[in-house]
Amino acid sequence: ETIRTEAGDGKSLYTGTVPLETTKSGSVYQLKDPTRGNTYTGDAGGQTDLCILVWCVRRAPATIFTDADNHWGGGTTADRATVAVDAQFGTNMTWDFYKTVFGRTGIGGDGKGSFNRVHYGDRYANAFWDDSCFCMTYGDGDGTQLGPLTSLDVAAHEMSHGVTSATANLTYSGESGGLNEATSDIMAAAVEFYANNPADVGDYLVGEEVVLPGFGKPALRFMDRPSKDGSSPDSWSTGTKNLDVHYSSGVANHFFYLLSEGSGAKTVNGVSYDSPTSNGSTVAGIGRDAATKIWYRALTTYMTSSTDYKAARTATLNAARDLYGAGSPQYNAVAAAWSAVNVA
């Protein structure tokens, strides 16, 4: 039997109808993309892995989704394939972003595809990347605070953990852990802007699609003013290293917002922001494309497993010097944005 790449489409939960490249095997289509390293999406069937502390037995399956007519999902959770469309689309956009913007092919940079498991566990309200399987896992959410975790920014966030593992390998605790988390939030925002999907426009919010009214806030995290989540700091202090990594990330998320868009009030893609500085300065943004390139070069060239906030300042200054020159507006803006979040 011949295996061919086929152009299909899917009705997603969060991003409308999206194109999908799939595989035809015999008379059936598989949700597997030969143009992006054979990335595929499977059903975990509500099962979970068996984990004791950090050791896990991968017990939940990834039963590949199949379809008769290559039109996938139905736009609501009534169809089990709907969130599979979101997950596959998230992998596609993240793959395309890293390839187009940085020339990086795949999470590991070696052309190898990953795979997704959706419908993991019972009301599981999280998603995670796992280096050991080179795979993504998504829960359906608890239905009160969070819906299915398959939004594009969550997908890009989680897969970017794989990029960090393959590059700087920032240790997932203390300040390096905050930088690891921030890298995922920064790349998640960048992927969302890159995808430019009318149903889910680019923004500096994390998880705005997945939060439900019961969550009480319009997003999981807010890069313009991280303290809007009730837990993250807007600027660095000696206590930053003691925070959960999803909060200590706020310092770098805020740095990235200021570097991209500048301080003060601004509306981007219809979303309003108001970003403060800790030192009373006014920061002029250099645009998110330049900011993203600087962060990626810092991550892949200068950061190491033990990089802390002070070293991240140096790493991004080195990256800006390489890309734009010492004393360039971009270089000076990096210094100003770090100073504005109290990283001197």
Among all residues, which ones are annotated catalytic? 158, 246
- 76 is written with which tokens? 């609501």
128 binds, among ligand ASN, Zn ion, none (CB under 5 to 8 A by kind): ligand ASN
Nearest-angstrom CA–CA distance, 89 and 95: 10
* Rg for the chain, CA atoms, rounded: 20
Considering the complex, state which of residue 117 and residue 246 has its C-beta at the smaller distance from ligand ASN: 246
Handedness of CA 334, 93, 270, 180 (dihedral sign): negative
263 binds, among Zn ion, ligand ASN, none (CB under 5 to 8 A by kind): none
- Integer angstrom CA distances of residue 86 from 36, 83, 106, 197, 287: 16, 5, 18, 12, 28
Task: State yes or no: residue 151 binds Zn ion (CB under 5 A).
Answer: no
Considering the complex, state which of residue 43 and residue 158 has its C-beta at the smaller distance from ligand ASN: 158
- Burial of residue 93 (CB within 10 Å: 0-12, 13-18, 19+) is buried
Task: State yes or no: residue 184 binds Zn ion (CB under 5 A).
Answer: yes
Task: State yes or no: residue 127 binds ligand ASN (CB under 6 A).
Answer: yes
Considering the complex, state which of residue 36 and residue 157 has its C-beta at the smaller distance from ligand ASN: 157
Task: State yes or no: residue 342 binds Zn ion (CB under 5 A).
Answer: no
3 state SS of 150:
coil
Task: State yes or no: residue 249 binds Zn ion (CB under 5 A).
Answer: no
Nearest-angstrom CA–CA distance, 292 and 288: 6
- Minimum distance from CB of 307 to Zn ion (Å)? 17
Contact of 271 with 296, CB cutoff 8 Å? no
93 phi and psi angles, rounded to 5 deg = -65, -35
Task: State yes or no: residue 137 binds Zn ion (CB under 5 A).
Answer: no
- Helices 152-166 + 82-102 axis angle, to 10: 50
Task: State yes or no: residue 171 binds ligand ASN (CB under 6 A).
Answer: no
Q: Which of 17, 47, 126, 165 binds ligand ASN (CB under 6 A)?
A: 126
Considering the complex, state which of residue 127 and residue 286 has its C-beta at the smaller distance from ligand ASN: 127
Nearest-angstrom CA–CA distance, 338 and 344: 7
Task: State yes or no: residue 158 binds ligand ASN (CB under 6 A).
Answer: yes
Q: Which amino acid is at 47?
A: Q
221 binds, among ligand ASN, Zn ion, none (CB under 5 to 8 A by kind): none
- Minimum distance from CB of 129 to ligand ASN (Å)? 6
- Which positions lie near ligand ASN, rule CB under 6 A? 126-128, 157-158, 161, 181, 246
- Which positions lie near Zn ion, rule CB under 5 A? 184
